[in-house]
Every structure is written in C-alpha cells, then in structure tokens.
Amino acid sequence: MTPAIFFAHANGFPSATYGKLFAALAPQYQVHHLEMHGHDPRFPVNANWESLVDELLHHLAGLDQPVWGVGHSLGGLLHYHAALRQPQLYRGVVMLDSPTLTLADQWLIRAAKRFGFIDRITPAGRTLGRREDFADVDEALRYFAGKSLFKRFDPECLEAYVRHGLAAGDGSGLRLKFDPATEISIYRNVPHVTPGRPRQLAVPLALVRGRHSRVVLPHHARAVRRVPQGEYLSLPGGHMFPLERPQDTADLLKQIFARWQRRAAQESRSA
C-alpha cells in the first residue's frame, strides 16, 4: 500500500496552489487534501479552530490507513491539534512554518481577543479591504507578482494560485475563491488553548522553519524539544517557503519520512 500524506494548506491558499509540491512527492506517496479548509458548512470556523480540527479528523477517519500529516502554517497547527486528539490516525506530523504556541503565546492571544487587538498580531488586519476582483488571469498574475508575499514564489506555484485561487465572479471577471470573511475569521480565532501538552503527543513531530520566517521564532523551536519525538529543521526561504521551494520541501519531507520509517522498523524489531 502506498503511504498516504494528508496535506493541509495555509490560510487563504487553496490546496491546488501546492500542486508542484504534490507532484514532487509522487509516486512514492499518495497525497490527500481538502480543496479549502473552513468552507464546509458542517464545520464552520469557531473558537480555537475546534470545528476546523473536527473537519480534518472527519476526513482522516475516512481513509484506510494512518497518514503522514503535513501542514503549512494554519494546516500544521490543525494537524498538531488533531494528532493530540486522535493519534491513532497518524504516523507522524510535519509542520511547515507553523508555530508551536507556548503558554506565553496563548496568553497573548487570549488577551488580544479579549481587548480587541487580535487584528494587530495576526494578518487579519492586512486582509481587511484586500482586493478581491480581477478582470482576467493575466491581470491577477501581474497584481500578485508585485506583492511582497508572492515575490519569491516558484513561478508555477504563483500561476497555480491564480488559476486555482480565483473563480468566475458575479460579472465577467474573476474573484478570490477563498472567502475573505472566512480567512479573517480563521485569523481572529487562532487558538489560545490546545487539546493537550507537547509532551503528550504520541507521534513524531517535525517543525520545519523558513530561515527568514518572521512567524516561527526561536522560542517556538525550543517548544518542539518538549515533544518526546520532536525535531526542528529549516529550509531557505520565508514563511511561504513550501511555495517558494516546492522541490526542496518535497525532498526534505521524503528524508523525514524515511528516517521515521527506519526508526519505527527498528523499534518494532527490538520490541
């Protein structure tokens, strides 16, 4: 049976944006994913992303084998919370520039929600009022290519974002497919609680940071050391490195999974 990966995307970036990464993982791995997290009315965005984790667990339970959970930003935290709740669905988790939130982080987030400054410590504030409509694909490509978040994207990933992240609007143009209100709600409900402590995670965990990321910070890396089978790695790039260097990301994932498989086999023989 081909090992399965379940990939969870970053907020605002439909899974098809990562097509080049998925292609680089084939045929050794079968990649499963949702088109867009947070858009199923059965699992609306709510406090601490509890419903988003429920949505992920619902789909994992329908597979015929435990998965390697891989998530970028939002997606990494969803996998982390899901693995704390139902570790039997996982073989391991890789968080791609997803911060493992410490108690101090959680207290800050709780205060930000309570006192109304959550939009200042998450990208929600920058998302408000963002352009949503475009005349055609070429206009959208030119627009996003000029934005700092996208300037280091692999060209195929940028094109995939535009082609799969936009859909026909009410008129003759194109409109962002990922609902902006949902994207903002996800940011505003970033978890200030977790379903368990790092030391309780029963599967291997790797946190891979973009070396120039301003999202994953040194104290997040230190938090990974509290996980019994936790490790911290890095790749060149910023927070969006999986879309800047998809081939390098796939190569590293393959190395991680191969190492974890060897370790599991050794432990099985010695048991």
Q: Token digits for 98?
A: 């997803």
How high is the pLDDT of residue 120? 92
How high is the pLDDT of residue 270? 77
Global pTM reads 0.96
- Please list the alpha-helical segments (H only) found in 32-117: 50-61, 74-85, 103-115
How high is the pLDDT of residue 172? 79
Which H or E run contains 180? helix 180-188
Residue 270: strand, helix, or coil: helix
How high is the pLDDT of residue 101? 87
Residue ranges of the chain with per-residue pLDDT less than 70: 271
Distance between CA 259 and CA 39 in Å, rounded? 35
Distance between CA 247 and CA 24 in Å, rounded? 6
The crossing angle, in degrees rounded to 10, of helices 137-145 and 155-165 is 130
Q: Token digits for 197?
A: 């402590």
Dihedral (C-alpha) 254, 260, 265, 270: value to the nearest 10 degrees? Answer: 160
Q: Amino acid identity of 263? A: R
In order, the DSSP letters of 144-170 are HHTSGGGTTS-HHHHHHHHHHHEEE-S
- Determine the distance from the C-alpha atom of residue 52 to the mean position of all C-alpha atoms in its chain, rounded to a whole number: 12
Fold of 4-270: Rossmann fold (3.40.50)
How high is the pLDDT of residue 271? 67
Number of CB atoms found within 10 A of residue 2's CB: 10
253 strand-pairing partners: none
Q: Token digits for 34?
A: 């949702």
Number of CB atoms found within 10 A of residue 104's CB: 9
Distance between CA 154 and CA 255 in Å, rounded? 22
